[in-house]
Amino acid sequence: MRQESPSRPSGYGPGEAPRWEDYSKCIQCGLCLNSCPTYRVLGHEMDSPRGRIYQMIQVERGRLALGDSFVRHMDLCLDCRSCETACPSGVHYGRLIEAARGQIERSYHRGPGATFLRRLFFRELLPYPSRLRAVGKLMSLYQRSGLEQFVLASRLLKVLPANVEKAARLAPRVENPFFRVGTVTPAIGTRRYRVAFLSGCIANLAFARLNEATVRVLARNGCEVVVPKDQGCCGALCVHAGLRDLARAMAVRNIRAFAREPFDAIVTNSAGCGSVLKEYPGLFEHGSQEHLAAAELFSARVKDVTEFLAGAELNTGLAPQRVRATYQDPCHLLHAQRIRKAPRQLIGAVPGIELIEMKEPDICCGSAGVYNVLHPEMAAPLLAAKMRRVDETGAELIVTANTGCLLQMRAGVAASSNPRRRVLHVVELLDEAYRQA
Amino acid sequence: MQEARTARALPLDDLKRIVGERNVLWRAEDVMLYEYDGLSAHATPAAVVFPSTTAEVSKVVALAVRTGLPVVARGAGTGLSGGAVLTEDGLVLGFSRMNKILEIDLENQRARVQPGVVNLDLSLAVSDAGYYYAPDPSSQKACTLGGNVAENAGGPHTLASGVTTNHVLGLEAVLADGSVVHTGSACWDHPGYDLTGLLTGSEGTLAIVTEITVRLCRKPEAVKTLLAIYDAVPDATRTVASITARGITPAALEMMDGFTLRAVEEATHAGYPMDSAAVLLIELEGLSEVVDEEAGHIECACLENHAREVRRARSAEERDLLWRGRKNAFGALGRVTPNYYVQDGVIPRTRLPEIMEFMEDVGRRYRLRLGNIFHAGDGNLHPLLLYDKRDPDQCRRVTQASAEIIARCVELGGSITGEHGVGIEKNELMPLLFSEDDLALMRRVKAIFNPEGRLNPGKLLPTGKMCGELRVQASAGG
Ligand SMILES: Cc1cc2nc3c(=O)[nH]c(=O)nc-3n(C[C@H](O)[C@H](O)[C@H](O)COP(=O)(O)OP(=O)(O)OC[C@H]3O[C@@H](n4cnc5c(N)ncnc54)[C@H](O)[C@@H]3O)c2cc1C
Ligand code: SF4
Ligand code: SF4
């Protein structure tokens, strides 16, 4: 029997790195392979969960450099955590990849262009709601004035790095007016709960109507809805990108903003935000006990809007919707938060809806935050496969429960042979049904 | 994990010409990902090649033969006997891109597939029409049909429906000289030697399979799943014999001991009782009335043998959950131990109580924790030995304990492997089971197909380098 070979010095630098307690849980059974979107497309072990963990271990053992190859395969991971659901051994893959990315962020140099753009986006834009709004206003002008069509049709963007052009094409439509924070919306009927709504950062601009619908649906279910003013970006994009210091700062701000009073729940309509909000304590494991305790208190209150509504007694004043629908599981709801039933239960509560399950509803659609912008070559085949599964159901309505998935599925529908199909968030569906009742 | 490459020339340019530049991996940082499978890590391949057609496979094999490089086929690498890893410098033929379902012919209940198709994906593709592919290894959501054919994979439901070989109608394969042959036919019977049967289970040592024609089964009219809960292990093992004594063959008859159960329950929340000593998971399939009647008989058999309780799954969801628990059982133990070693022995099912006692004794003597999961119906045992591979003493104890268990299985009239194959793990144990004459015949068969040992060398048959040793290998996962 072979025993451990003597180790060389670890390839990781100081600070958080993938931990033995986490990666030693991987028994290399390979049961996660076919659940991994990147493995399904590429068929390479390097781009499988098992392979990524193996590479992390080899870096630790000093056998593999924390260099281009390692970074490429870690970057290509969608952080969809489908492998966690598939894994019988309880490997917390999310923790591993996030730590690996933290290491990459600290010790790997991406070149001047990428470093500049990352800095601009993550450090100069995301943390500042006011700057986001300013950019949102500009984008809105740009999109409405016809300038966008002109720019996209022209070859102007070709002079910029390739990713900028792709980002420009995939940029969400800004919705005017923006969602307002710092409000309190009374419950309709008897007040049963007082909840806080975490409205997101970019979502306040690009999903203003969805946010409003969320508040309305909560209000109709006996919630007084507080939208704290000094909240900010949840930090999900930073955690996924390995910017852990920044994510911590964002977490501290939100914990403070929502700690003003003991809300019955802190509700979000974005699965990506929700999963990170629920995992705030992981950011403070090495920090002060005080921060950790506050994070635990905060995270325990976080609820996805579908989770919250399914757990409350649902107001059933819903008008019938005669439509065949199918539901796409957002990865960060299903795999990261393990919520499968709640959204289906809510869809099922709408009279008249025929819910047809698509095959493999649990495989990523390729959206994954800004992934579809950074890795279109991977996102495109995933979306195509997803649309084939949707087509098989014959559904006229696609329901999902996350902003990124909404954008991606809408792009998929627009490019399909049946562009009239609708894509709605579960709460948008409920909102329509309430309003028609 | 050899670091230095032997001097054999790697025909990289030729490989790239055959399958395309993008489909060859050769950089150290890439090929090191192909030094392991579900069992352990071994030699790092010189290159990994991903063909997409039979013609490409044939050319790669011919090239490998010309350059003297061994070739190992790889499906998903979930194998548990080291079948898909190299023992020396060589090429890996990865089948992850040959994963198309070529033809589904429901009227004749068959499908033609490429070997890289994932087992469960085939069932998914025909499920709407009411069909499925019967062999269901616990790894079915990941393992490939090519790997299944090579290992003659079985699963919980093989008790009634048989193993892979009972469901393979024909094969297309590339021989060691690069020529392409077809065996069997799309019909259920055909004249001549049963070469399909010979290749199935040959662990990639006779030919590389490039196309498989399989039988599809109709989903049964009714399925009933029972969970019998016991306070003592011998009661559960005795039940197995008394069920079959009543002339009932369940579709599946699985046993898990209490220790394993608790890990499984924590992993899946399927509703397994946390405080029991053992459970039997029993499934019946067929016509509704028959299934109902049989379920009654089985309940009696369980209660007669002091089952504390017999539960019936009330919905498809509950049933799926119970099976998810069972199929994820190996992995679930990964939660409670840094490493484990799965054994795969077989005994006649009537000897179950004896072997259970024996294993308990082994665990005591070697100071090891054992979990037990098995296909009780066909006497296929999977004791899992828990250890921490950072401790050399534990490693040694695991090896010795496993060897004792396997030897005991053979003594009781059983075998050294039920479904995980021989590979590089148990090839030196083959003499326990076969006489020198038996082995000589196998060598002659191998000499016809694979005279120079180019295909998957060092596997299945004893190499003579080690004598009668079980080669337990720690998984490389840290
Ligand atoms: C958690 C777990 C549970 C398991 N449960 C079961 C079970 O219940 N029943 C069971 O039988 N097995 C089980 N296994 C073992 C394993 O999954 C099976 O042996 C499976 O058939 C291997 O398929 P694979 O695609 O992963 O093959 P690999 O591991 O890639 O290869 C296995 C062997 O097949 C050969 N091979 C692969 N493709 C070809 C080809 N096209 N032509 C020729 N040879 C080829 C390889 O060279 C190798 O020798 C389990 C494994 C794990 C990790
Ligand atoms: S998180 Fe998703 S993309 Fe990343 S390894 Fe896991 S399954 Fe694959
Ligand atoms: S399923 Fe879990 S234990 Fe198995 S290889 Fe994947 S991550 Fe590792």
Cross-chain residue pair A31–B141, CB shorter than 8 Å: yes
Give the Cα separation of A230 and A232 in Å (integer): 7
Residue B150 touches chain A, beta carbons under 8 Å = no
Query: Is A235 touching ligand 3 by the criterion CB < 6 Å?
Result: no
Domain that holds residue A34: 20-107
Residue at which a domain ends, from A107, A129, A156:
A107
Average pLDDT of chain B is 91
Q: What is the pLDDT along chain A (437 residues), one digit of tens a residue?
A: 334 455 578 889 988 899 998 998 898 999 999 999 999 999 999 999 999 999 999 999 999 999 999 999 999 999 999 999 999 888 999 999 999 999 999 989 888 888 888 888 888 888 888 887 777 777 777 777 666 666 666 665 555 555 566 666 666 778 888 889 899 999 999 999 999 999 988 888 888 899 999 999 999 999 999 999 999 899 988 898 899 999 999 999 999 999 888 999 999 999 999 999 999 999 998 888 999 999 999 999 999 999 999 999 999 999 999 999 999 999 999 999 999 999 999 999 999 999 999 999 999 998 876 777 778 888 899 999 999 999 999 999 999 999 989 989 998 999 999 999 999 999 999 999 999 98
Average pLDDT (B343-358) is 91
**Domain check: are A299 and A211 in the same one?**
yes
Question: Which amino acid residue places its CA nearest to atom 8 of ligand 3?
Answer: A26
Show the CA angle centred on residue A192, arms to residues A190 and A195, nearest 5°: 125
Interface residues from chain A to B (CB-CB < 8 Å): 1-5, 20, 23-35, 39, 43-46, 51, 53-55, 57-58, 63-65, 69-70, 86-91, 359-360
B189 to chain A, closest Cα gap in Å: 34
User: Looking at domain B101-218, which of 3.30.465.10, 3.40.50.300, 3.90.190.20, 3.10.310.10 is its CATH number?
Assistant: 3.30.465.10
Sketch the domain layout of chain B as residue ranges: 12-94, 101-218, 222-332, 337-477
Number of domains forming the structure of chain A: 4
Query: Which of A25, A35, A88 is closest, CB to CB, to B330?
Result: A88
CATH class held by domain B12-94: alpha beta
Whether domain B337-477 has CATH 3.30.70.2740: the reply is yes
B137 within ligand 1 shell (Cβ under 6 A): yes
Q: Is-contact A281 A299, C-beta < 8 A?
A: yes
Residue A33 sits in the same domain as residue A87: yes
Mean pLDDT score, B291-315: 94
Could you tell me the two tokens for B289?
């009335």
Same domain, A206 and A220: yes
Nearest CA to ligand 3 atom 1: A87
Interface predicted TM-score of the whole assembly (ipTM), two decimals? 0.91
Q: Do B474 and A31 touch (CB under 8 A)?
A: no
Neighbours of A125 (CB within 10 A): 16
pTM of the model: 0.92
For residue B93, what are the β-bridge partners?
B49, B73
Which one of A39, A65, A88 has the shortest CB-CB distance to B334?
Answer: A88
Same domain, yes or no: A103 and A42? yes
Dist CA A255 CA A261 (whole Å): 11
Our answer on whether the CB atom of A24 is closer than 6 Å to any ligand 3 atom is no
For a pocket test of ligand 2, which of A81, A96, A335, A371 has the largest count of ligand atoms closer than 8 A to its C-beta?
Answer: A81
Q: B96, B387, B470: which to substitute to probe chain A, counting the most A Cβ within 10 Å?
A: B96
Rounded Cα distance, B358 and B347, in Å: 13
| Per-residue H/E/C for chain A | CCCCCCCCCCCCCCCCCCCHHHHCCCCCCCCCHHHCHHHHHHCCHHHCHHHHHHHHHHHHCCCCCCCHHHHHHHHHCCCCCHHHHHCCCCCCHHHHHHHHHHHHHHHCCCCHHHHHHHHHHHHHHCCCHHHHHHHHHHHHHHHHCCHHHHHHHCCHHHHCCHHHHHHHHHCCCCCCCCCCCCEEECCCCCCCEEEEEECCCCHHHHCHHHHHHHHHHHHHCCEEEEECCCCCCCCHHHHHHCCHHHHHHHHHHHHHHHCCCCCCEEEECCHHHHHHHHCHHHHCCCCCHHHHHHHHHHHHHEEEHHHHHHHCCCCCCCCCCCCEEEECCCHHHHCCCCCCHHHHHHHHHCCCCEECCCCCCCCCCCCCCCHHHHCHHHHHHHHHHHHHHHHHHCCCEEEECCHHHHHHHHHHHHCCCCCCCEEEEHHHHHHHHHHHC
Same fold, B101-218 and B222-332: no
Q: What is the pLDDT of residues A384-412, one digit of tens each?
A: 999 999 999 999 999 999 998 998 999 89
Q: What is the CATH number of domain B222-332?
A: 3.30.70.2190
Considering the domain architecture, whether residues A289 and A345 belong to the same structural domain is answered as no
- Whether A43 sits inside 8 A of B50 (CB atoms) is yes
Of A3, A27, A57, the CB nearest to B334: A27
Cα of B78 vs centre of ligand 1, distance in Å, is 5
